[in-house]
Structure 1
Amino acid sequence: MHEHQEIFQEIVDMMKQIERKLIQQQQLPIINSISLTKRQESMLMYIFSTENVTVSDIASYFDISRSAVSQTLNKLEEQDIIVRSINQENRRELDLSLGENGEKLHQEYKKVEDMIVQNYFSKIKTEDLRQVRDIIRKLQGMIVEEKYESP
């Protein structure tokens, strides 16, 4: 089990180092001018990747209260990153869309993703990328689907 712990820590350390380096390389004006907390950024990434997202969707996805989601969204709305509107099918629910700064952020994040693919992923054999993806998918399945048992 000791070797598993060492490998796990190496992977975590490498991912943190990659994240730090990529953040340093991001010299995009809107990303650098808007300060987001980790929670705000996580919710925004979820909004970017999910169509017709609601407060309830976010609360369910992050397993937090609707109140906690609303508090975070208030800050994003103040910065014109998101816009809330009444859901026409369920008037008790709010739909979320991107505000002007949210659209700019989304475009810049897409540029970062494109840069990562072009500068790094494109230099790795597709088969190697598939292998990494499959291993991560297997780990995801184990974590998401299995019940945690204390050692």
Structure 2
Amino acid sequence: MAKDEKLIYKLVEEINEAIYSMDSHFIKLHQNLISDELSPKQIILLDFINKNSQVTIGQIANYMNITSSAVGQLVSKLEEQHYVIRSINPENRREIFVCLDTSGIKYFDREEEIKQFIISRYYSKLELSEIVQLKEIVQKLNQIVLKEGIINEINDIHLKKGEI
């Protein structure tokens, strides 16, 4: 490994450790403030609905890469607890819409309160210019990751292992 590569590796390790430490703290904070007993799949489903207002079972299945039947089971459990509500699409009666119900709306209201708390408690201690710079760097890295794509990454890993 070249000298610059070693330095980059060390710096990225330090960045990853700092991010992991912050994420661990924020997760603990979140767990103490939200008592909902939701599985990771249920949270992903609720988040998808929240970001898109009203979605179909098929859209959820496609997004989560699971079967419509599996989505139906997840939705049924969430519907029992009033996190989501189903309705029939009046224009296509074979299509089911899913949107947030009362518990789901309350869940995201609490999420917003936690987000506001984290921003006011931690991010507000940074200069505005630092927050702008952080945002730009993270977005740039995200674009690089998205551009590369997962298939290229998997192929690269297999190449390094001598499997391809």
TM-score by length of 1: 0.79
Match of 1:107 among 109, 114, 125: 109
Match of 1:14 among 15, 18, 21: 18
Residue of structure 2 in register with 1:23 after alignment: 27
**Aligned amino acid, residue 23 of structure 1:** I
Give percent identity, aligned residues only. 30
Tell me how far apart the structure 1 counterparts of residues 47 and 110 of structure 2 sit (CA, whole Å).
12
Match of 2:43 among 16, 41, 45: 41
Structure 1: gaps of 5 or more residues: none
Cα pair distance change 1:61/1:144, threshold 3 Å: farther
Match of 2:74 among 72, 83, 88: 72
Moved more, 79-88 or 125-134: 125-134
Cα pair distance change 1:13/1:84, threshold 3 Å: farther
Give the superposition deviation at 1:5: 4.8
Give the superposition deviation at 1:104: 1.4
Cα pair distance change 1:76/1:126, threshold 3 Å: same
**Aligned amino acid, residue 115 of structure 1:** F
Tell me how far apart the structure 2 counterparts of residues 14 and 78 of structure 1 sit (CA, whole Å).
39
Q: Deviations over 1:91-119 (max 9, x none)?
A: 22221222221121111111111111211
Residue of structure 2 in register with 1:85 after alignment: 87
**Aligned amino acid, residue 24 of structure 2:** R
The structure number with the bigger radius of gyration is: 2
> Alignment length, in residue pairs?
148
Tell me how far apart the structure 2 counterparts of residues 16 and 72 of structure 1 sit (CA, whole Å).
29
Cα pair distance change 1:39/1:120, threshold 3 Å: same
Give the superposition deviation at 1:58: 2.2
**Aligned amino acid, residue 35 of structure 1:** E
**Aligned amino acid, residue 42 of structure 1:** I
Match of 1:118 among 117, 120, 127: 120
Give the superposition deviation at 1:2: 5.2
Q: Between Structure 1 and Structure 2, which shows a larger proportion of helix residues?
A: 2
SS of match in other structure, 1:36: coil
Residue of structure 2 in register with 1:139 after alignment: 141
TM-score by length of 2: 0.74
Moved more, 125-134 or 18-27: 18-27
